[in-house]
Amino acid sequence: MDKGNARAKETGKVYLVGAGPGDPKLITVRGMECIKACDVVVYDRLASPRLLKFLKPGAEKVYVGKLPDRHTMKQEEINQLLVDLSLEGKIVTRLKGGDPTIFGRVGEEAELLQRNGVEFEIVPGITSAIAVPAYAGIPITHRDLASSLSIITGHESPDKLDQSIHWDKVTNATGTLVFLMGVAKIGYIAEQLMKHGKAPDTPVALIRWGTRVEQRTITGTLETIEAIVKAADFQPPAVIVVGEVVRQREKLQWYERKPLFGTRVLVTRARTQSSELADRIEELGGEPCEFPVIETRESSETAAVSHLEESLREAERYDWIMFTSVNGVDYFFNWLAKLRIDIRRFHNARIAAVGPKTAAALEQRGLIVDVLPVKFQAEGLLDSLAEALEAGQTVLLPRGDLAREVLPRQLMAKGLIPVEIDVYETVIAEDQDEETLELLKQGKVDVVTFASSSTVTNLLAVMRRMGVDQPEELLQQVDIACIGPVTAATAAEAGLKVTIQPNDATIDGLVEAISVSRAERKVN
């Protein structure tokens, strides 16, 4: 991000950014830089709200979106808002769906900024005219079918359409016609195209909310499409594609065939841990909504820290170190670095881990685990260690403050000496997204995932704090997916109906179980 000249710093600067068609990963690198650097983001409903999580702390959010039945803010007011914010010395990012230069009225915004001496930059975006058909399996050009295209606005009234569109020229000017914002006028558009020479059996496709979890596609011909749209109660926003390329959809559908297509999944893990689960959901065509309800941080309670320091300085006494989570590994090594304790002092200890991810975290630090259980929970670890454990051995357990007591209790029962240290503590996350909670309230979330017992209790606590009196009732309408039996038991005790639980208590297992469940729903 350029710093700009001295005057730009005094008056601010405005970035007019194309946010792409809806999928937040389709924004450009430059567009993402503008989001991360701005003091204020001005956005509308066609820009994915998931992009807002990349704002720096304290950045202001201003919604100026337009809905079919009302305008939150008139265009002239938006233009002036950009000027006013920049004259306050703020860096402003104006997020616009698709590309800002294609029916985005960016020229009007830029002109007023220029007249007021405000520095601005236009950042192109991926236009929905190209991306949305691609996500529906429709390439808008094809060597054998269409070598040219037209992008046309379909939002105006029939009178204005006739004034702005020369139907006699447009109809057969290019191989493919793409209409943006024309769902309500589809009958009139089809009528004019047939009137001016298009064959009634010309294929037509309408793609609603393309590249998003709500994407829906209907097809027909110029002769039949109006009736199909009415019968389906097909609502805007949508992209209309007219031409032979539409037939490619039968062979080239890819996005809508993904196993989690159409599935919105709430991810409750800590923000630092949620990316793996979110990425796997996206790979399978779902939409992850990150709603972290827990945060982990270095232990701060005086007695716990004192015990931790004393225990770590006795490194040579341990016969085993047992890690039960990736967090345990990360914070354990953070403490060693902070206290200047050499890992080689633990040379007497064998290493055990619960789960492949925990083992991988150790391997990244050059430590190979001696024991990895078949069942990835504390009970499974002890079963795998049965022949190696001996009474009188001392076991170091670097864990979180909310860790279950099953493992130390069973170790004591076998005559071993467990030494528990709280290397981190788990607290309720403070920064939740109101938009995501609103999706839950509106019934637009399909699955809620829980990767630990603390995410269950904290989600309910956060929802109550945000004004939901009976969160258990609200969550009855969604599938509850728990990573393992312990988490599932906590959810059940809280009054939630667990519908998805993997055989393997891993992130991959959880995602696979969700995919199987959604596939069964589609079949039934």
Instruction: Please say whether the beta carbons of 267 and 288 come within 8 A.
Output: yes
275 vs 262: CA distance, rounded Å = 20
The residues that bridge with 480 in the sheet, in sequence order, are 448, 498
Tokens of 510: 């959880």
Q: Across the strands, what pairs with 49?
A: none
Q: How far is CA 440 from CA 280, 320, 462, 517, 521, in A?
A: 21, 45, 13, 20, 20
Q: Are 225 and 174 in contact (CB under 8 A)?
A: no
Angle of helix 106-115 relative to helix 75-87, nearest 10 degrees, comes to 40
Active site residue 84: no
Strand partners, 427: 295
Of 88, 92, 113, the residue nearest 11 (C-alpha): 88
Nearest to 294 by CA among 431, 426, 450, 471: 426
Question: Which one is catalytic: 39, 96, 181, 322?
Answer: 181
Instruction: Indicate the SS3 state at residue 469.
Output: coil
CA atoms of 312 and 308, how far apart (whole Å): 6
Q: How far is CA 108 from the centre of its chain?
A: 32
Q: Which residues are CB-neighbours of 6 under 8 A, at least 6 positions away?
A: none
Distance CA 387, CA 383 (A): 9
User: Annotated catalytic residue: which of 66, 90, 258, 357?
Assistant: 66
Angle between helix 453-465 and 485-493 (nearest 10): 30
The pair of structure tokens assigned to 462 is: 């956060």
Spatial separation of the C-alpha atoms in residues 251 and 256, rounded to whole Å: 12
Q: Is 144 a catalytic residue?
A: no
203 bridge partner residues: 221
Instruction: Name the nearest CA neighbour of 211 among 126, 140, 103.
Output: 126
SS3 94: strand
**How many CB atoms are located within 10 Å of the residue 401 CB?**
17
Q: Is 44 a catalytic residue?
A: yes
| Dihedral sign of CA atoms 230, 236, 241, 246 in order | negative
* Measured CA distances, 6 to 83, 93, 112 (Å): 18, 19, 21
Catalytic residue among 44, 99, 446, 479: 44
Distance (Å, whole) CA 301 – CA 392: 30
Rg (CA), the chain: 28
Q: Are 88 and 10 in contact (CB under 8 A)?
A: no
Q: Is 3 exposed, middle or buried (0-12, 13-18, 19+ CB in 10 A)?
A: exposed
Active site residues: 44, 66, 181
